Homo-oligomer: A and B are copies of this chain.
Amino acid sequence: MYFDVASTAPLHPVARQALTAALDEGWADPARLYRSGRQARMLLDAARETVAEVLGARADEISFTASGTQAVHLGMLGALAGNRRRGSHLVHSAVEHSSVLHTAERWASPRPESGGETAGDPVTVVPVDRYGRVSPEAFAAALRPDTALAVLQSANHEVGTVQPVAEVAERCGDVPLLVDAAQSAGRVDVPAGWSLLAASAHKWGGPAGVGVLAVRKGVRYASPLPADERERGRVPGYVNVPAIVAAAASLRAVRAEAERENARLHALVERIRAAVPRLVPEVEVVGDPVRRLPHLVTFSCLYVDGEVLLTELDRAGFAVSSGSSCTSSTLTPSHVLAAMGVLTEGNVRVSLPFGAAEADVERFLAVLPGVVAGVRAPLGLDLPAPAGAGEPEAAPEAAPAPGPAAGLVIDALGKRCPLPVIELAKRIGDVPPGGTVAVLADDEAARLDIPAWCGMRGQEYLGEAPAADYGADRGAAYLVRRTA
């Protein structure tokens, strides 16, 4: 069962047919004047028309890139270079795709071309709420007279939260806005108001190797790459006609199927959102419950290592993703979950492909509790029943009055998450109600996960103290008062 369509969608049958046909009919160089070249050019032109129509652009605004990441890189750097007169300030939300963040880092770093002497350009990151959503007002407040570019995703790739793009676009005025529509293109209409648009074909069921960069007529753009006459001078290199033809054909097909499939997948995701907290103890479903992509849901499981959970779910036959989908091989917590201030432990992203069967979703829900319990079992924790189990649930006992602080210190230095939280859960009972525990930890994820654990377990998070106060030379001390 493949539930990771947000990473890449299986090739749509229409894409496969179109690819096979275009390998026969559109294999030649579209820049050539002989028959096979002209035929490739015709197919390319038709594909461009199709993509433009579905995305709400003009054909001459569309350039095909090699990937969504390349579309973002070129779109951002090209718009920043083209709007130098305006200034060099860049604004983006805290939960953009890593391709946006990495371009901003490059923009903010001193220029290697100048021998590293000049300072980097300024970047403002707009925070998000606990659902992962920017506020249009906060976004507007980040804009400055020297802002050359603003960047906002159409919907978040990790938690599915839909961003208020049209409202932000309105507030951007004449500041160019790049909308990263990689997660929504083909599934839902592209929101109005973009100046530049980036998308990726393999996310909608097209082949790998095709991204889309649209630049609205009149938006200033200066290519950051060496000159090349192809793709309106925006994307150098031989044009991959067969893959572009397949991308266009599948985009049209997917968009037509979306109406029916979106409603169906929306209901399946609703089912998962409601069921998971009832079936699994100590779990947090994250992302906006209403303003969300139809097919994507993310939740985090306390005390669990995300990678271990994925491996166990894979053994049970389910392919899902975890944490930041583009940095899974790194050990840092997902920047999206961090920006939302939610639990990063045991994170699971379920993203359903078109045609996902209800029976498979039910099977996932049947298997999940046992898998999570299996991962947690060796920890020997005393877990409460799931939040929604056995309803009507007995009212929780009134919290006991705070007693004297016991001052327990848990040394979790050098231990990777979720170990610091596991230690905390195991030992908080050692202090009386009202007592405090200090957890010493140097894994960055603890900064997110300990407050999140407190929120979920009804304990009081008191904040951070310097590690040195507890005789440690690294990390920090996270202070918790036992109230439950």
Q: Which residues of A contact B (CB under 8 A)?
A: 2, 4, 7-8, 10-11, 16, 19, 23, 27-29, 31-37, 66-70, 73, 81, 84, 98-99, 102-103, 105-106, 111-115, 118, 200, 202, 207-209, 211, 222, 225-229, 236-243, 307, 310-311, 313-314, 318-321, 326-330
Determine if A208 and B243 form an interchain contact, defined as CB atoms under 8 angstroms apart: yes
Of all chain B residues, the one with the shortest Cβ separation from A330 is B229
Determine if A320 and B227 form an interchain contact, defined as CB atoms under 8 angstroms apart: no
Most buried by B among A28, A118, A236, A238: A238
Contact of A238 among B8, B10, B16, B241 (CB under 8 A): B8
Determine if B4 and A27 form an interchain contact, defined as CB atoms under 8 angstroms apart: no
Determine if A106 and B238 form an interchain contact, defined as CB atoms under 8 angstroms apart: no
Given A27-B8, A111-B113, A35:B314 Cβ within 8 A: yes
Q: Please, which residues of chain B bring their CB within 8 A of the CB of A320?
A: 34
Bound-state Cα–Cα, A411 to B73, Å: 51
Contact of A35 among B11, B222, B319 (CB under 8 A): B319
Determine if B329 and A238 form an interchain contact, defined as CB atoms under 8 angstroms apart: no
Determine if A73 and B319 form an interchain contact, defined as CB atoms under 8 angstroms apart: no
Given contacts A10-B27, A105-B226, A208-B242, 6 further A-B contacts (CB under 8 A): A2-B28, A4-B32, A32-B321, A32-B328, A208-B238, A229-B329
Determine if A319 and B243 form an interchain contact, defined as CB atoms under 8 angstroms apart: no
Q: Please, which residues of chain B bring their CB within 8 A of the CB of A227?
A: 102, 105-106
Most buried by B among A19, A84, A237, A318: A237
Determine if B208 and A37 form an interchain contact, defined as CB atoms under 8 angstroms apart: no
Q: Please, which residues of chain B bring their CB within 8 A of the CB of A311?
A: 33
Bound-state Cα–Cα, A30 to B140, Å: 38
Determine if B111 and A209 form an interchain contact, defined as CB atoms under 8 angstroms apart: no
Bound-state Cα–Cα, A388 to B216, Å: 58
Q: Please, which residues of chain B bring their CB within 8 A of the CB of A106?
A: 225-227
Determine if A238 and B69 form an interchain contact, defined as CB atoms under 8 angstroms apart: yes
Contact of A208 among B67, B102, B240 (CB under 8 A): B240
Determine if A307 and B225 form an interchain contact, defined as CB atoms under 8 angstroms apart: no
What are 24 residue pairs bridging A and B, where the CB atoms are less than 8 Å apart in the complex?
A: A2-B36, A4-B28, A4-B29, A7-B29, A8-B29, A8-B238, A11-B23, A31-B326, A36-B319, A37-B319, A66-B70, A66-B209, A66-B237, A68-B237, A73-B225, A84-B112, A98-B228, A111-B111, A112-B222, A113-B113, A114-B114, A208-B240, A208-B242, A229-B330
Bound-state Cα–Cα, A192 to B93, Å: 49
Q: Please, which residues of chain B bring their CB within 8 A of the CB of A113?
A: 111, 113-114, 118
Bound-state Cα–Cα, A19 to B22, Å: 13
Given A118-B114, A208-B242, A226:B103 Cβ within 8 A: yes
Of all chain B residues, the one with the shortest Cβ separation from A38 is B314
Determine if A242 and B207 form an interchain contact, defined as CB atoms under 8 angstroms apart: yes
Of all chain B residues, the one with the shortest Cβ separation from A239 is B208
Q: Please, which residues of chain B bring their CB within 8 A of the CB of A238?
A: 8, 67-69, 200, 202, 208
Of all chain B residues, the one with the shortest Cβ separation from A107 is B226
A234 to chain B, nearest CB (A): 13
Q: Please, which residues of chain B bring their CB within 8 A of the CB of A211?
A: 237
Q: Please, which residues of chain B bring their CB within 8 A of the CB of A27?
A: 8, 10-11, 208
Q: Please, which residues of chain B bring their CB within 8 A of the CB of A209?
A: 66, 209, 240, 243
Bound-state Cα–Cα, A398 to B104, Å: 74
Determine if A236 and B70 form an interchain contact, defined as CB atoms under 8 angstroms apart: yes
Bound-state Cα–Cα, A28 to B208, Å: 10
Q: Closest 6 A-B residue pairs measured CB to CB?
A: A67-B237, A66-B66, A69-B237, A102-B226, A34-B319, A209-B209
